[in-house]
Amino acid sequence: MGSNLARNLASREGNTVAVFNRSYEKTETLITEHPEAGFIATSSYEEFAAALQKPRTAIIMVQAGRGTDAVIDALTAVFEPGDIIVDGGNALFTDTIRREAAVRATGINFVGAGISGGEEGALNGPSIMPGGSAEAWQTLGPILRSIAAVAEGEPCVTHVGTDGAGHFVKMIHNGIEYADMQLIAEAYDLLRRVGGLEPAEIAEVFAEWNTGELESYLIEITAEVLRQVDASTGKPLVDVILDQAGAKGTGAWTVQTALDLGVPVSGIAEAVFARSLSSKPAQRAAASAMPAAAAEWAPDDRAAFVEDVRRALYASKIIAYSQGFDAIVAGAEQYDWDIKKGEIAKIWRAGCIIRAQFLNRITEAYAADPELVALVTAPYFTEAVAGALPAWRRIVSGAALAGIPTPTFASSLSYYDGLRADRLPAALVQGQRDFFGAHTYKRVDKEGTFHTLWSGDRTEISATDAH
């Protein structure tokens, strides 16, 4: 990804890019393979710093973790106040907050920038989510704008907020990516197991869906994956790929952070857990003989069933984005970032993995009401979910009866029903908490905090008398 980003930078008018890798061999290979880029090869940090115009800008692309700290230290030693160090990896935003403060103390700017789009995006135009200071953005903005993807004439980059804001938003992007992928996988599973469609046929269904409101990069590539036939066995490739999903951690970070912030990102969490469950072969083998007590599900009208799955997917996707944006709002409040939600939706329209037509609707929703309390409550999304509801319920209940796991479809529907409920059984939870821990409760009919004397005469007292 780093070399592709460097090639992207070098291809822009007026740019000369110096490159450095700890292994000089890799640098040489890059230079030899891409003479058109006109790279300046450097073999030490000193040489690299000397090759750059001031104020210097360096973009680090290394595996997130301790390696990043080592590179930052090395660059800080050879850079000068006013220079800029950009970390373009998938760093944990709290690391970025820490690094930004430490580097800023030297007078050098540090910018944590989320970069999405994989290797191809890095080369042809990624979606970029930079944090860091406004001062650094002055210099960095034009550079990043020149290499970013373009959506409807606008570059997919904006100054997200200070210090770790960029990496925070990239983390949420990845959380949504996990949910989106799992939702598509559940739709595929239903189309195959209930609809009786073969992978190549499902590829056609996805290609068709990609022409409507579900249009997105992930739907598009899913069709490609499902069309692929394995050369050695002649089977659909998807049938010979081991069904254990990997993860590098950004989805788990999203969920851990959301737990800390108290934001229910249940769809994203289920997507992370679905990968974890898939990767437990011993447990799966041990459980494989357990009873299903499942009913056969054979819809009479296959086309209607396919349409139900599409609607359930769309509604669940709206929930995943709504939850992701809730996490952004909570993060912005907690860390004091001025994040413009509509701008984030805009820069996700092209270049990144979750790019989708539907992001325009999110931008419109936040433009109409910047203080929107939950994306799903915006008129467009409320209407979209309402239209999908009967289908969504048929799919989730049908899958439960048939014994087909749909963790993200089901949890998203449950979240929706929870959110719209007049009364929740949380009242009973409060009663239980008060019973065993005197944790007190509030009442619907009067002000104050109360406790029932559960082990005494069970009268209610004001919480000031409770312990």
Residue 413 CA to residue 389 CA, distance in Å, equals 9
Q: Give the three-state DSSP class for 241.
A: coil
8 annotated ligand binder: no
* Nearer to ligand 6PG (CB atom), residue 82 or residue 249: 249
How far apart are CB 66 and ligand 6PG at their closest, in Å?
A: 18
275 annotated ligand binder: yes
Residue 275 CA to residue 261 CA, distance in Å, equals 23
| Active-site residue, from 170, 317, 341, 346 | 170
Reference 186, options 207, 208, 202; nearest CA is 202
How far apart are CB 118 and ligand 6PG at their closest, in Å?
A: 5
Alpha carbon 58 to chain centroid distance? 26
Spell out the residues 6+ positions from residue 206 whose beta carbon is closer than 8 angstroms to its own. 184, 219, 220, 222, 223, 226
How far apart are CB 248 and ligand 6PG at their closest, in Å?
A: 4
Residue 458 CA to residue 462 CA, distance in Å, equals 13
* Nearer to ligand 6PG (CB atom), residue 74 or residue 359: 359
Residue 336 CA to residue 342 CA, distance in Å, equals 18
How far apart are CB 17 and ligand 6PG at their closest, in Å?
A: 21
Q: What are phi and psi of 12, to 5 degrees?
A: -85, 140
Alpha carbon 220 to chain centroid distance? 18
How far apart are CB 246 and ligand 6PG at their closest, in Å?
A: 5
Q: What are phi and psi of 167, to 5 degrees?
A: -70, -30
- The alpha carbon dihedral of 210, 215, 221, 226 has a sign of negative
**Residues 172, 203 contacting (CB under 8 angstroms):** no
415 annotated ligand binder: no
Q: How far is CA 150 from CA 121, 123, 138, 351, 364, in A?
A: 11, 13, 20, 8, 18
| Active-site residue, from 177, 270, 317, 341 | 177
Q: Footprint of ligand 6PG on this chain (CB under 6 A)?
A: 90, 116-118, 174, 177, 246-248, 250-251, 352-353
How far apart are CB 89 and ligand 6PG at their closest, in Å?
A: 9
Residue 439 CA to residue 145 CA, distance in Å, equals 53
Question: Does 235 participate in catalysis according to the annotation?
Answer: no
* Nearer to ligand 6PG (CB atom), residue 52 or residue 245: 245
Residue 103 CA to residue 84 CA, distance in Å, equals 10
Q: What residues are paired with 114 via a beta bridge?
A: 129
How far apart are CB 41 and ligand 6PG at their closest, in Å?
A: 27
439 annotated ligand binder: yes
* Nearer to ligand 6PG (CB atom), residue 49 or residue 61: 61
433 annotated ligand binder: yes
178 annotated ligand binder: yes
* Nearer to ligand 6PG (CB atom), residue 90 or residue 266: 90
* Nearer to ligand 6PG (CB atom), residue 247 or residue 277: 247
451 annotated ligand binder: no
Residue 381 CA to residue 373 CA, distance in Å, equals 13
> Which amino acid, residue 43?
S
Spell out the residues 6+ positions from residue 143 whose beta carbon is closer than 8 angstroms to its own. 9, 57
310 annotated ligand binder: no
Q: Give the three-state DSSP class for 41.
A: strand
Q: What are phi and psi of 230, to 5 degrees?
A: -75, 125
Residue 12 CA to residue 148 CA, distance in Å, equals 11
* Nearer to ligand 6PG (CB atom), residue 4 or residue 452: 4
Spell out the residues 6+ positions from residue 454 whose beta carbon is closer than 8 angstroms to its own. 434, 435
Q: In which residue are the tokens 């997130």 written?
A: 64
Instruction: Report the residue closest to ligand 6PG, judged by CB.
Output: 116
124 annotated ligand binder: no
State the CB neighbour count (10 A cutoff) for residue 248: 11
How far apart are CB 4 and ligand 6PG at their closest, in Å?
A: 12
Question: Does 177 participate in catalysis according to the annotation?
Answer: yes
* Nearer to ligand 6PG (CB atom), residue 247 or residue 402: 247
Catalytically active residues, by annotation = 170, 177
- Residues placed in the known binding site: 90, 116-118, 173-174, 178, 248, 275, 433, 439
- Residues placed in the known binding site for substrate: 90, 116-118, 173-174, 178, 248, 275, 433, 439
